[in-house]
Amino acid sequence: MGVDLERHGPWAVIAGGSEGVGASFARRLAETGLNLVLLARKPGPLEETAAVCRELGVEVRTLAVDLTDPDAIKQIAEVTDDLEVGLLVFNAGANSYGHEFVTGDLDRFQGVIDLNVTAQLALVQLFGAPMRERRRGGILLIGSLAGYMGSAQISIYAAVKSFCRVFAEGLWLEMQDYDVDVLEFVLGVTRTPAMERAGLNFDIPGMHVSEPDDVARQALSLLQDGPVRVAEGNERIAEIRSGHDRSALVRDALEKSKRLLPPSN
């Protein structure tokens, strides 16, 4: 059934709403008639996306904020205090800090946890509690296929994404009796500006690459069909990565991942 203005409006908050998938969510929700609060670190792309959405006839508030800052949630609460937020889209999670764990920087790893876990939980509670009280709303969490399997160089990122998927399942159960929809939508390789800046190789034969607009369309159409759904073209990978022979699975995944990223200097 997807997004419904009466069920999920009148305001939506999008964390990571400036470019790529987040910008696609913003445009599609604006077309639906939802007013928007867009959160992102970079003010330039944030304001560009806001301008596009305002042209579609909705109100838009923006806040340039780093979700790992200690006062970030307080800032967001102040910006949204007078609003009835019926939909939260948590799309902020690009920080993976690719490095082997035992020689890595613990503070950098903590940043991955703070963004993907701590900030997500805080925003879900901030906006989810009023939704529960009103007995309507929606929470859309953007997941990753990385959360289905441990991976070298991104072991912490993969672990937090696994946490987020299990969290979404539990939250979905808790919100069922209060008519609040919960969905984690799991992405595979997606052609986003962040991935392009990272030098990801999108031209590997046989690899499925999703486009941001298509991902946003799918996720919003499945909002009421939680708790977890996988982006089209990636279902078989998620199934394989859920297998029981973990040593064979992770070794095979390592060999495939070496083709995705440019060689390190």
pLDDT band with cut points at 50, 70 and 90 for residue 265: very low
**Higher model confidence: residue 55 or residue 252?**
55
Residue 33: how many other CB atoms lie within 10 Å: 13
Q: Is residue 148 part of a domain?
A: yes
Per-residue pLDDT reduced to its tens digit, 114-151: 999 999 999 999 999 999 999 999 999 999 999 999 88
Q: Is residue 17 part of a domain?
A: yes
Q: Which domain holds residue 164?
A: 5-257
pLDDT at 257: 62
In the predicted structure, residue 261 carries a pLDDT above the cut 90: no
**Closest C-alpha to 120, from 79, 148, 88, 149:** 88
Q: Is residue 263 part of a domain?
A: no
% of the chain exceeding 70 in pLDDT:
88
How much is the average pLDDT of 210-229? 95
Per-residue pLDDT reduced to its tens digit, 9-66: 999 999 999 999 999 999 999 999 999 999 999 999 999 999 999 999 999 999 999 9
How much is the average pLDDT of 208-227? 93
Q: Is residue 262 part of a domain?
A: no
| Dist CA 37 CA 205 (whole Å) | 39
Q: Is residue 98 part of a domain?
A: yes
CATH number, domain with residue 83: 3.40.50.720
Q: Is residue 123 part of a domain?
A: yes
User: pTM for the full model?
Assistant: 0.90
Q: Is residue 265 part of a domain?
A: no
Per-residue pLDDT reduced to its tens digit, 82-105: 999 999 999 987 778 889 999 999
pLDDT at 185: 97
If one counts the domains in the chain, the total is: 1
Q: Is residue 264 part of a domain?
A: no
The per-residue pLDDT of the chain, averaged, comes to 90
Signed CA dihedral, 174, 176, 182, 185: sign only: positive
In the predicted structure, residue 259 carries a pLDDT above the cut 70: no
pLDDT band with cut points at 50, 70 and 90 for residue 198: low
**Closest C-alpha to 73, from 32, 110, 105, 114:** 114
